Every structure is written in C-alpha cells, then in structure tokens.
Amino acid sequence: MNAKRWIVVGIAASAVAVFTALALPIPTRTFRTTASIGAVFQVPNPAATNTALLAFDTFAGHDLVNLAMGTALTTVRTNQVLAMEINCDSTFARLVVFDTGLLSNIVDIAGSTNIFALTGQDDAGAAGPNHERFVMRMEVNTNGFLVGGFMTVAGRVYLDPTNGCPRAVLIDTDRGHDKGLADAALKNLDDKVKDKEIAGEAHLIGVVNAIFLEGGGVVTNTTLLPFGQLTMRRQLLP
C-alpha cells in the first residue's frame, strides 16, 4: 500500500475516533412506577426446627423501596418512590428508587442486561412509531436488604413518534391485549398522589436474595417472585 493510501486510511480512522468520542449519550426518561409482586420464601417451622415452611407475601412499590434502602417494610416514605428509567432507543432500563425532593435516582434496584423491543406505528403519516412491546432481563443489585438476583420483565410502553423516547399519555389506548398478556393498571398504594397519565405496563418473574431477621439474627433467604406487575405512570425526569 502506498503512502497516499495510508494517509487516507489514517484520516478516516481518526474521523471515526473523533465521531465516537463526541457521540452524545442516549437520553433517558424516568417514570413513577407502582408495583404488586408476589413473593415466596421459607421460614422456620416452629413444630420442627429442622424443617421449613413456605411463606407468601405481596410487595408493593414502597416495599421494594424499603428493601433497597435497608429499612423496615413498615417505614413510611414521603420522598422516595419506585421508578422505571428507560433510554430513548430501548436498549437499557433501570428500576430505581427516585427521590422527589432531590429530583434524582438515589438507588439502582435492578438494571437490564439485554432488551428485545418491537415497535408499532399506528399512523403511517406520523414521524415514527407510537408504541412498543419489550422483553428484558434485569440483574438485581446489592443494596440494603437485597443481595442480588434477576428478573425477566415483559410489557409495553408508549413512544413519542418524533424522537422514539418513552412518554406518558393521558388516555390509555393500548389496552387490547392486557388481559391475555397479564398486564394491568395498578392502583397507587404508596402515597396519595393521583396519576392520570400512563406510560406503560409490564409483568415479571424472578428471584431475589433478601435479608430477613429470624430468631434475633440476620439470614439471607432466597425469595421467589413467581409473578408481579408494574405500571409506569407520570414522567419524573426528562
């Protein structure tokens, strides 16, 4: 290869490097999220201490917040709420604790390791798709009383046709397959804020390791999440 061609290749490589360095991060949207997640775990059998019993519970959004913050489930939260963060090309999502006073995510409960999303464009004359369905796998982080785990989450979200970003709408027009696909609009059991907007819905299964207080000691128990539902509501962060 002659010198001139080396120079051309070098210039092209440098241009790619500069373009990569200057590439802007993909914007994200954060949505207030309500939850209802069934949980199954083992507890000691008082009649035979060498055996265990199965216990069942349901975690709402504020329960997940307290677990991630390492506080008792009875703790009343005023500023810290559950939220879902999704980026504008649906390649990454996080389930987080959001502080409405600080206007910031303060704890990452779980982050996606991969997402598969399919978009739909109901109006052929629009600039782009207006909604999508997704399936993603999330790894649960170690925070507070949560010590790792995983979740598989599937659901739907509205998109802004002009930029592809998730968005909240006032009228939920995408409910036709909710019953068959196990999605639902959940009531807010966390606070007294009434959300009229909706960004999407999802359901999940998974496993987390949770810290329990048993017999005066601390025990980490495997906790099954056989089925749960999430509803993404108003936008908290642009």
Rounded-to-integer distance, Cα 226 and Cα 238, Å: 32
For 236, residues 6+ apart whose C-beta sits below 8 A from its C-beta are: 30, 31, 32, 83, 98, 100, 103
Rounded-to-integer distance, Cα 132 and Cα 59, Å: 27
Rounded-to-integer distance, Cα 156 and Cα 191, Å: 24
Rounded-to-integer distance, Cα 126 and Cα 162, Å: 8
Question: Residue 19: what pLDDT?
Answer: 42
- Ranges of the chain whose pLDDT falls below 70: 1-24, 214-216
Rounded-to-integer distance, Cα 209 and Cα 148, Å: 6
Rounded-to-integer distance, Cα 78 and Cα 80, Å: 6
For 78, residues 6+ apart whose C-beta sits below 8 A from its C-beta are: 191
Question: Residue 214: what pLDDT?
Answer: 66
pLDDT tens column, 124-167: 999 999 999 999 999 999 999 999 999 999 999 999 999 999 99
* CA angle 225–229–235, rounded 5-degree value: 130
pTM of the model: 0.87
Rounded-to-integer distance, Cα 114 and Cα 136, Å: 6
Q: Which two tokens stand for residue 188?
A: 């807010």
